[in-house]
Chains A and B, each alone.
Chain A
Amino acid sequence: MIDSLINFLILGTIQGSIYALLAMGFSLVYGVGGILNQAHGAFYLITCYLFYWFYRNLAGFGLIVGMVVGLVVVTLVGGLVYILLVKPLKDSHVGVVIVTFAFAFLIEQVVKVSVDSLYHDMPLLIEGSIEVFGVEILNHYILVVVASLAIVTLITLFINKFKIGKSIRAVAQDAEAASLMGINVDRILAYTVMISAFLAGIAAILYVPIDIVAPHIGWGILINSFAIVVLGGLGSLPGSVIGAFIISYANAFFNFVLFMPEISALMPIVIIVFMLVLRPRGLFGKKEID
């Protein structure tokens, strides 16, 4: 019983930190550009497989090289997706949704054709473990929590203090007025999608070593991010961080305390439906007037 409670606390925290990164990126893109990015899981997948491929084929420095290449490539891909696919179709919601869905599908197939469709494992980023109050905690877990906290703080600082961050907030409030003030809205949106892709990439690098690598994982990431964003509030960054922890603890509770993985697989849809019926704008969302 104690063991399962400790498992629940540790794994809930780990998953929460990871999903905070993913949901923040997802929510940012929706909040700033009103773009519903179905390719968010695909960003995760790209980094995942680049990381895996370099680790596999490059002895020695594979992990480091894979990490760097994965992050750089996914950020560039994010920018390209915005410029080539989303921007020309921005006026039609249907077009954006379908084209990003198709892109996610494309990446899944590319991965299947170029690597394979099997499950793979990755080694931990740092080996070893420490003991806290008689409980053994992997060093990797500590790295995950510290890194994700640091990145969430950095992104918040970036958005609040820096010039680009301020432009991002301006575009989020009113794109038209922002463009009248001399802000290049398209460039800012491209930066936003790139930040979101970068966050997905970081999440992939931190989470892959304790998860699996397989072509279909992108969809699960997408749906969990969506559930978190619905719970936390559309376009609200603190909401998505808190929502990520709520959902992850609930997930871990069903998985490690009650031993009912079936229920935890059903969690996203249950949360989506309940939130939409009870409080459609989420816990921290702004009231929308149309």
Chain B
Amino acid sequence: MRIIIVKKKISNFPSYFRDWISTFRAKVTIICLIGLCLVPLLTQNPYFLGIFTTFMIFTLFAASWDFLAGFVGQVSFGQAVFLGVSGYVTAYLIRYLSFPWWLSLVIGSIIAVLFGLIVGVPALRLKGPYLALGTLSMSMIMYQLFLMGSLATMWEDAFGTLLFGAEGVSQITPISPNIIIEYFITLLIMCVSLLILTHITKSNVGTIFKAIRDDETGTSASGINTTNYKILAFMISGLFAGVAGGLFAMRFRGVNPGVFQPLYSFYAIIIAAMGGLATISGSAIGAFIFVFAGELLRETQDLSLLIFSVILILFIRFAEHGLLKPTLERIQELWDIVLGR
């Protein structure tokens, strides 16, 4: 059945595409994409391109959280675990085994998927809000594990240098010495990942995910094994957070135990909340604001985090739909007025 639909889509490609492009959302998406492609033509300044690359990595990271929280209803505060694990694996493979970057990224993401499985299985016992604290403790423990010199030493005695202590892994070769190539590769990975995530939420599996979010008891009563689907959701989320983690390690040329801090899970949450929960692409608008505002407030990092936590409280409290949907509606109204409809 599904194959037939896919075939239809492929055979009717031009008209299908034409239908899509005639919608308002598609136009906005295309304009944003063209804008992102034009950025390297406007400026070759590595600093600005670097900020844009960071913005895209955070978009992907927040989208993976948004998928889990917004569509499956599993609020995880341990998203940093996936980021950190994949970052460490990618960094290790590139630095010490001199793997090519894409292979390291793939392996890192696969390890993150396995961690999704590890987090997902005990998480099934943690119904509702308790999941949040379970995952939070998971990320705290990982932070401790990687930070603590003594455990790393114990580990080294037994298995050789693996956990690297407080310094982490540094001096990783980036994707490409040319920042513009790095920019476009990141852009491509981000677009493909967001497309896949959006597609999953619209597919049959996505419907089951939404059913689990809205009424878990009811879903399992209609003969769906919610356990398997929740594990699947954790693994999907782990995959994309893992891709973000690998890119993160290459973008910043290294990782340290700090990536396991609740701080990074907090970043994902605030970005997704600013964009709007349960809108995968909303993460982009949230990450844009977050990264650029963070860059402006770079001098006073603690102060900027303070401002962001106030913003998060205000958003959750007063504007649960975030920025994306209301903004799009306003623009559409404006558009209609301009066209005289």
Interface residues of A (CB under 8 A from B): 36, 38, 84-85, 88-89, 93-99, 101-103, 105-106, 109-110, 112-113, 117, 219-220, 222-223, 226-227, 230, 234, 261-262, 265-266, 268-269, 272-273, 276-277, 280, 290
Interface string of B256-270 (1 = CB under 8 A from A): 000000100010011
- Known contacts A219-B262, A223-B137; is-contact A102 B312 (Cβ 8 Å): yes
Interface string of B111-144 (1 = CB under 8 A from A): 0000000000010011111101110111011001
Residues of A within 8 A of B140 (CB): 219-220, 223
Whether A265 pairs with B122 at a CB distance below 8 angstroms is: no
Chain B, 132-161, CB within 8 A of any chain A CB: 132-134, 136-138, 140-141, 144-145, 148, 150-151, 154
**Complex CA–CA separation, A103 to B269 (angstroms):** 13
B260 to chain A, nearest CB (A): 12
Whether B317 pairs with A226 at a CB distance below 8 angstroms is: no
Most B CB contacts (10 A, CB to CB) among A88, A95, A277 go to A95
Whether A96 pairs with B129 at a CB distance below 8 angstroms is: yes
Given A38-B132, A102-B316, A262-B151, 4 extra CB contacts under 8 A: A101-B77, A101-B136, A219-B136, A219-B262
B146 to chain A, nearest CB (A): 12
**Complex CA–CA separation, A261 to B154 (angstroms):** 12
Residues of A within 8 A of B127 (CB): 290
24 A-B residue pairings within 8 Å (CB atoms): A36-B132, A88-B317, A93-B129, A94-B75, A96-B129, A97-B129, A97-B132, A102-B270, A105-B266, A105-B305, A106-B313, A113-B303, A219-B140, A223-B137, A226-B134, A234-B130, A262-B154, A266-B145, A268-B137, A269-B141, A272-B134, A276-B134, A277-B125, A290-B217
Whether B306 pairs with A98 at a CB distance below 8 angstroms is: no
Whether B306 pairs with A109 at a CB distance below 8 angstroms is: yes
Q: Inter-chain contact count A-B, CB under 8 Å? A: 114
**Complex CA–CA separation, A224 to B97 (angstroms):** 39
Please give the number of chain B residues whose Cβ is less than 8 angstroms from any Cβ of chain A in the complex.
43
**Complex CA–CA separation, A97 to B69 (angstroms):** 12
Most B CB contacts (10 A, CB to CB) among A101, A223, A269 go to A101
The residue of chain B having its C-beta at the shortest distance from the C-beta of A110 within the complex is B306
Whether B148 pairs with A265 at a CB distance below 8 angstroms is: yes
Chain B, 216-258, CB within 8 A of any chain A CB: 217
Whether A266 pairs with B77 at a CB distance below 8 angstroms is: no
**Complex CA–CA separation, A290 to B127 (angstroms):** 11
The residue of chain A having its C-beta at the shortest distance from the C-beta of B74 within the complex is A94
**Complex CA–CA separation, A85 to B314 (angstroms):** 9
The residue of chain A having its C-beta at the shortest distance from the C-beta of B154 within the complex is A262
- Known contacts A85-B317, A227-B137, A280-B125; is-contact A261 B312 (Cβ 8 Å): no
Whether A99 pairs with B122 at a CB distance below 8 angstroms is: no
A-B pairs, top 6 by smallest CB distance, nearest first, are: A36-B129, A109-B306, A276-B125, A106-B309, A262-B151, A102-B312
The residue of chain B having its C-beta at the shortest distance from the C-beta of A98 within the complex is B316
Whether B302 pairs with A273 at a CB distance below 8 angstroms is: no
Interface string of B54-74 (1 = CB under 8 A from A): 000000000000000100010
Residues of B within 8 A of A85 (CB): 313, 317
A112 to chain B, nearest CB (A): 4
Whether B150 pairs with A261 at a CB distance below 8 angstroms is: yes
B157 to chain A, nearest CB (A): 13
Whether B133 pairs with A94 at a CB distance below 8 angstroms is: no
Most A CB contacts (10 A, CB to CB) among B132, B150, B320 go to B132
Residues of B within 8 A of A273 (CB): 122
Whether A106 pairs with B137 at a CB distance below 8 angstroms is: no
B41 to chain A, nearest CB (A): 38
- Known contacts A98-B75, A112-B302, A266-B141; is-contact A222 B133 (Cβ 8 Å): yes
Most B CB contacts (10 A, CB to CB) among A96, A266, A269 go to A269
**Complex CA–CA separation, A105 to B217 (angstroms):** 33
Whether A99 pairs with B217 at a CB distance below 8 angstroms is: no
A58 to chain B, nearest CB (A): 25
- Known contacts A95-B320, A97-B129, A101-B132; is-contact A109 B141 (Cβ 8 Å): no
In the assembled complex, B310 has its CB within 8 A of some CB on chain A: yes
Whether A98 pairs with B310 at a CB distance below 8 angstroms is: no
Whether A93 pairs with B125 at a CB distance below 8 angstroms is: no
Residues of A within 8 A of B217 (CB): 290
In the assembled complex, B273 has its CB within 8 A of some CB on chain A: yes
